[in-house]
Amino acid sequence: MSFPFATGAALGPFAALSHFFFLLMIAAFSAALTWVMIRLNISDVPNARSSHVRPTPKSGGVAIAAAFFSGLAVLYLHSGTARLPSGQFTWFLATSGLMFGAAFWDDLAGLRAGVKFATQFVCAALFSFFVAHIDVLAFPLLGEVSLGVIGHAMTVLWIIFFMNAFNFMDGINGLAGGGALIATAFLGGIAFFAGAHFVYLGALCLFGAVLGFFVFNFPHGRIFMGDTGSQIIGFVFSGLAVIGARADIGQVSVMVAPALFACFLFDVLATLCYRLWRRQRLSEGHREHLYQISNLLGFSHQRVSYIYFGLLLLNGVFAAALQAAQPSARLPLLLGGILLHAPLGLLVYGAGLRQGVVHFPSDKG
């Protein structure tokens, strides 16, 4: 038996229906596991940096990971084309599984920041050397440039940066989960038309896994994904971006993934700059992301999330256009697309200054 797969307009009604029902099965499995996790009640107790006010189960990431890995295993066993060579696939599962285990332990008992970073580094490095890495980038005027060993370093930095950026954005109901749904939907569509079989079906599995969790997470926040969810989504998504660019049958530009999350990346980068400007330690917890400042200004969790969902939809259209652009134009377009969010950031910071939520370096607040 093989999982029906074709690309582009060649996807027939039977194959399309099979993909849809497969997605629903993953989502149902994820939803059932999420319900179990709510009953187990491994709680996130609120503190001064939290956006919630009562203890809430935080193990939704277990359901996301289990559903994703199960779906991926089924595809590997039954798909004729949407698969990596066995060695690469084994290492993809191994590194993802190690990341899941470390993040789950962090949710249960807590890990020191150094241990968490070391685990991220090991997983990213193993992925780079045994699954896929960025070995070529196109630059304006220069064209394609071979990166050599620098490509491995860039791959590791990309995976670690994205994992942490996504984790930073998991702070209010639905934001990270909804963002993952929108981004994976666009990634799957772009990969489908590019003929990147593995990335398409990997995105399909991740979408279904997050969807089953999301119905319990938004709008009322009955359960959080925790570090388990944010770390596994961050690792898998950033990994699929590299696989799509270098190891799949078709090619998806490595610029597509950051373009899909351009609003998230702008929020993270703006926050890092703001905290550096205030001479604050970057490793300390805080509530100074743009989405958190918006919440402190009186916007509800749902309203903030909906604003970001709108931006993410625009980011998806932008990413599709980026995929169609000339390779040498993609990097400047990506940087420009991220910077286009600056006016919104300035509006939030301006309102925060007026209401005393945002402070100058000389302020004691």
pLDDT at 41 over 90: no
The Cα 339–Cα 341 span in angstroms is 5
pLDDT at 5 over 70: no
Per-residue pLDDT, 14: 64
**Residue 264: domain span:** 17-132+147-354
Pairing of strands 43-44, 136-139: unpaired
The Cα 69–Cα 144 span in angstroms is 35
In terms of Cβ atoms closer than 10 Å to its own Cβ (0-12, 13-18, 19+), residue 282 is exposed
pLDDT at 220 over 60: yes
Per-residue pLDDT, 365: 45
User: Looking at the domain assignment, is residue 79 inside a domain?
Assistant: yes
Per-residue pLDDT, 247: 79
pLDDT in tens, 228-256: 999 999 999 999 999 999 877 788 999 99
Of residues 340 and 284, the one with the higher pLDDT is: 340
Please state the domain count of the chain: 1
User: Looking at the domain assignment, is residue 8 inside a domain?
Assistant: no
H helix intervals, the chain:
13-40, 60-78, 86-109, 113-130, 149-168, 175-194, 197-217, 226-246, 256-260, 262-277, 290-296, 301-324, 327-339, 342-354
Q: Write the CA distances from 230 to 63, 103, 171, 226, integer angstroms.
A: 12, 9, 10, 6
Residues forming a β-bridge with 145: 137
Of residues 46 and 103, the one with the higher pLDDT is: 103
User: Looking at the domain assignment, is residue 142 inside a domain?
Assistant: no
pLDDT at 1 over 60: no
List CB contacts of 200: < 8 A, sequence separation 6 or more. 7, 82, 188, 191, 192
- Cis omega (within 30 of 0) for bond into 219: yes
List CB contacts of 305: < 8 A, sequence separation 6 or more. 172, 173, 174, 175, 178, 218, 219
Per-residue pLDDT, 69: 96
Any idea of the CA torsion for 259, 270, 211, 46, to the nearest 10 degrees?
170
Mean pLDDT across 24-49: 83
User: Looking at the domain assignment, is residue 6 inside a domain?
Assistant: no
pLDDT at 43 over 80: no
What percentage of the chain carries pLDDT values higher than 90? 68
Rg (CA), the chain: 20
List CB contacts of 248: < 8 A, sequence separation 6 or more. 84, 191, 196, 197, 198, 199
Per-residue pLDDT, 298: 92
Per-residue pLDDT, 59: 86
Which residue in 316, 292, 312, 314 sits closest to 304, CA to CA?
292
The Cα 131–Cα 335 span in angstroms is 27
User: Looking at the domain assignment, is residue 138 inside a domain?
Assistant: no
pLDDT in tens, 175-194: 999 999 999 999 999 999 99
User: Looking at the domain assignment, is residue 321 inside a domain?
Assistant: yes
pLDDT at 325 over 50: yes
Per-residue pLDDT, 101: 95
pLDDT at 137 over 70: yes
The Cα 197–Cα 149 span in angstroms is 27
Give the pLDDT band of residue 57 (cuts 50, 70, 90): confident
Compute the mean pLDDT over every residue in the chain, rounded to the nearest whole number. Answer: 89
Per-residue pLDDT, 9: 42
- Exposure b/e, 186-195, CB count within 10 A at least 16 = b: bbbbbbbbbb
Mean pLDDT across 269-277: 91
User: Looking at the domain assignment, is residue 42 inside a domain?
Assistant: yes
Asked if 180 and 210 touch (Cβ cutoff 8 Å), the reply is yes
Which residue in 167, 217, 288, 177 sits closest to 34, CA to CA?
217
Give the pLDDT band of residue 46 (cuts 50, 70, 90): low
Q: How far apart are the first and last CA of the chain?
A: 63
Which residue in 252, 133, 134 sits closest to 191, CA to CA?
252
pLDDT in tens, 157-168: 999 999 999 999
pLDDT in tens, 108-127: 888 888 999 999 999 999 99
- pTM reported for the whole predicted model: 0.91
User: Looking at the domain assignment, is residue 1 inside a domain?
Assistant: no
The Cα 356–Cα 365 span in angstroms is 8
Mean pLDDT across 29-57: 75
Mean pLDDT across 86-99: 93
Per-residue pLDDT, 81: 59
